[in-house]
Chains A and B, each alone.
Chain A
């Protein structure tokens, strides 16, 4: 890499330290990666969704009626690669399970069209990380592509973690800017590269 890293020595967690659902019981599957499958390849792919409910995937029976929860969201985005380190956002603790909030709880949705807000708070490895916006963009992009269309994704910097929190949060919350950013070849390439490790 030709430029200096913003943070040359991040703390890295090993994959086995990352939160997963493995202990949850008989319905559990085999770790974060395969858990993603139903979500990575949703039947109703945005924006061509049918009106069927988000939980009607039938490729795997034991998942059939389980709504997306925080762990699922974590699994979707923790495998995104950091733009400057050869590690995932999960390993770098940029994405943390306790910082993912769903509201209301997916189980309480009155109808499949009812809105559900997913709030993801990111913790950049250091507080002036210039790539915070790109990381946020990748996270938002990943979730919008994979979650059902009634999920509204809000990506923010965790309070105090980033020097220009407000600016970054505002950009990430602006649909028009996000759409335009994804038509920018350079940014699109960066995001694509970060998402390569997600499949």
Chain B
């Protein structure tokens, strides 16, 4: 037991810091897909998982761990990724929406009709006990292909909805990011999709591999979100050009690049925002992962006074991208994102996917080497005593007269556990945290307990029980 008072910033009482993670494979989703599967995206609330493979998406039920439905016939080439559409504003339509990004250079918007969705809710309630008689929503006919978003010149590689669902960002090998705005009337049954291009961002020098919106609806994001002249939304993009760019919308409705993150030495395969609310009130961080085998964490440099002019403006020679802008605008346009952590190196080849849990803050990574690793951010003091204290109960660790510095929260990233050959000899393309709804989870924990789901070149979509100790 520590007798010292908790550091002021660590408001939420963390009973015990995690020291290990044990991953146990659960039976894979059925059926096997028998071909490379790229990614599996869980629905934010419903027990559904959308797996992109070949020219289609298979939706699995997280309750039964079997195929629920399929989206086929909408794309001429492989579907690389998918995103669930957030429920629309105040509209109470029960419509389920999915958007798919394909190598055929388009994004497709799909919807699942009302009647079948009641089937989904039934499934939630019965959680996998009644799957036998529940076959009526099987098959691929319920998904309708509503709208095709055309404009990219070649493969669409990533897409993401903004937190409110107002914007959709898509990115492509054509080096651009497109931002689309939902201009659907929102009247009637809400089944009409209408989207307009509001921006084409062409500053990357290579394929844009992924895009992600900052979770600006989090309490800690709100303070920083409406900084300077910007609207709330913040977009990040990761590229084959080894950089990450941060984009914001200025007062004139123009989307501008406010910082370029250049620390990676290989293709940046993707990025994840910190979606767990921070108790220190700071702006959400960004995690990026790369072909260089590293995972980096970036933090926004938050000034004491929001409108303080950046003095060293001219000495900062980079941002040729702002060169065309009048001087008076420059300072308000720039943000400073610093690499504040690099996760311990585990992977020996490209890191294709990282997942940052909104619940626990734990991070999982995977990639070409077939390894799945789980990391936690722990206080350094604790990590040190672990080394000396061995494996026994964390309660026994005595923090001997901590100096004031040690009492400060000095978070550091630590590997909790790894598993190799997660998909046998195959590459693993994607990992995600995902709520458990299956019968294997205790009923009171269904919908709450988190598991990992990995997706591989072998066409297997595999859930993993993650026991954190």
A170 to B241, CA, bound (A): 10
A47 contacts B77, CB within 8 Å?
no
Q: Is B450 an interface residue (CB 8 A)?
A: no
Interface locus among A25-33, A57-65, A176-184, A189-197: A176-184
Quote the shortest CB–CB distance from B414 to chain A (angstroms): 25
| B350/A48 in contact, CB under 8 A | no
Per-residue CB proximity of A152-178 to B under 8 Å, as 1/0?
100000000000000000100111110
Q: A174-B267, A175-B368 are in contact. Are A51 and B424 (CB under 8 A)?
A: yes
State whether the Cβ of B163 lies closer than 8 Å to any Cβ in chain A.
no
Our pick among B77, B291, B425 for the contact of A49 (Cβ within 8 Å) is B425
Question: Is the beta-carbon distance between B34 and A48 smaller than 8 angstroms?
Answer: yes
Which residues of chain B have C-beta atoms less than 8 A from A175's C-beta?
Answer: 350, 352, 368, 427
Judge if A19 is at the interface, Cβ distance under 8 Å.
no
**Contact status B173-A177, CB under 8 Å:** yes
Q: Does A145 contact B (CB under 8 A)?
A: no
Q: How many residues of A contact B (CB 8 A)?
A: 22
Q: How far is the CB of A64 from chain B (nearest CB, A)?
A: 20
Contacts of B459 in A (CB 8 A): 47
Can you offer 5 A-B residue contacts whose CB atoms are under 8 A? A47-B36, A47-B457, A47-B458, A152-B349, A176-B155
The reply to whether B457 and A115 form a contact with Cβ atoms under 8 Å apart is no
Instruction: From B80, B173, B369, B426, give the contact of A149 (CB < 8 A).
Output: B426
By a CB distance below 8 angstroms, the chain A residues around B34 are 47-48
Minimal Cβ-Cβ distance residue in A for B425: A150
Kindly state the separation between the CA atoms of A152 and B291 in the bound complex, as whole angstroms.
14
Collect the chain A residues with CB atoms within 8 Å of residue B157's CB.
176
Q: Are B35 and A47 in contact (CB under 8 A)?
A: yes
A148 within 8 A of B: yes
**A115 and B267 contacting across the interface, CB-CB below 8 Å:** no
B207 interface residue (CB < 8 Å to A): yes
Given contact pairs A47-B36, A48-B34, A170-B267, A149 touches B103 in the complex (Cβ within 8 A): no
Closest to A179 in B: B78
Choice from A114, A115, A148, A176 contacting B209 with Cβ under 8 Å: A176
Closest to A148 in B: B425
Whether a CB of chain B sits under 8 angstroms from the CB of A83 is no
By a CB distance below 8 angstroms, the chain B residues around A176 are: 80, 155, 157, 207, 209
Q: Is B337 an interface residue (CB 8 A)?
A: no
Chain B nearest CB: distance from A148 CB in Å?
A: 7
List residues 66-123 of chain A with CB under 8 A from any CB of chain B. 111-115
What is the chain A residue whose CB lies nearest that of B76?
Answer: A183
Q: Which secondary structure dominates chain A's binding surface? A: loop
With both beta carbons as reference points, the residue of chain A lying nearest to B371 in the complex is identified as A115
Shortest C-beta distance, B23 to chain A (Å), equals: 16
Q: Is the CB of A183 within 8 A of B425?
A: no
In the A-B complex, list the 10 residue pairs whose CB atoms are closest, starting with the nearest. A150-B425, A113-B421, A149-B425, A113-B425, A183-B77, A180-B103, A180-B155, A113-B424, A149-B426, A183-B103
A175 to B240, CA, bound (A): 12
Nearest chain B CB to A66 CB, angstrom units: 18
Per the bound structure, the CA–CA distance linking A136 and B34 in Å amounts to 26
The smallest C-beta distance from B268 to any residue of chain A, in angstroms, reads 12
- Overall SS of chain B's interface: loop
Selected contact of B458 from candidates A111, A149, A152, A170, CB within 8 Å? A149
**Chain B residues, Cβ within 8 Å of A51:** 424
Encoded as 1 (CB less than 8 Å from any A CB) or 0, chain B from 357 to 390 comes to 0000000000011100000000000000000000
CA separation between A115 and B404, bound complex, in Å?
47
Bound Cα distance from A38 to B120, whole angstroms: 49
Of residues 336 to 357 in B, which have CB atoms within 8 Å of A's CB atoms?
349-350, 352
Chain B residues near A150 (CB, 8 Å)? 424-425
The answer, among B78, B154, B173, B369, for a CB contact under 8 Å with A115, is: B369
> Please, what's the 1-or-0 string for B390-401, where 1 marks a CB less than 8 Å from any CB in chain A?
000000000000
B180 to chain A, nearest CB (A): 22
Q: A183: which B residues are within 8 A, CB to CB?
A: 77-78, 103
B449 to chain A, nearest CB (A): 29
Nearest B residue to A167, CB-CB: B206
CB neighbors of A among B413-437 (8 A): 420-421, 424-427
Instruction: Please name 18 further chain A to chain B contacts, defined as beta carbons within 8 Å, in addition to the given A149-B457, A150-B424, sorted by A numbering.
Output: A47-B34, A48-B34, A49-B458, A114-B421, A114-B425, A149-B424, A149-B458, A152-B427, A170-B240, A174-B267, A175-B350, A176-B80, A176-B209, A177-B207, A179-B78, A180-B155, A183-B77, A183-B78
A113 to B427, CA, bound (A): 11
- Contact A115/B426 with A49-B458, A179-B36 known, Cβ cut-off 8 Å: no
Q: What 0/1 readout, one digit per residue, does chain B (85-115) give for beta carbons within 8 Å of chain A?
A: 0000000000000000001000000000000
1/0 contact string of A140-153 vs chain B (CB within 8 Å): 00000000111010
A154 (CB) vs chain B CBs: closest residue: B349
Q: Are B370 and A115 in contact (CB under 8 A)?
A: yes
Q: Provide the bound-state CA to CA distance between A174 and B78, in Å.
A: 16
Q: Which chain B residues border A114 with CB–CB below 8 Å?
A: 421, 425
Are B291 and A47 interface neighbours, CB within 8 A?
no
Question: Shortest Cβ distance from B78 into chain A, in angstroms?
Answer: 6
Give CA–CA (A175, B429) in the complex, Å.
10
Chain B nearest Cβ from A55, distance in angstroms:
13
Does the CB pair B368–A152 fall under 8 Å? yes
Task: Give Cα A167 to B157, complex, Å.
Answer: 20
Q: Which residues of A sit under 8 angstroms from B425, Cβ to Cβ?
A: 49, 112-115, 148-150
Task: Let me know if B426 and A47 touch, CB within 8 A.
Answer: yes
Determine how close the nearest CB of chain A comes to the CB of B369; give it in whole angstroms: 6
Which residues of chain B are near A148, meaning CB under 8 Å?
Answer: 425
**Residues of chain A with a CB closer than 8 A to B209's CB:** 176
Tell me, rounded to whole Å, the shortest Cβ–Cβ distance linking B5 to chain A.
49
CA A40 – CA B350 in complex, angstroms? 28
CA distance A180 to B103 in the complex (A): 6
- C-alpha gap A51/B157 in the complex (Å): 31
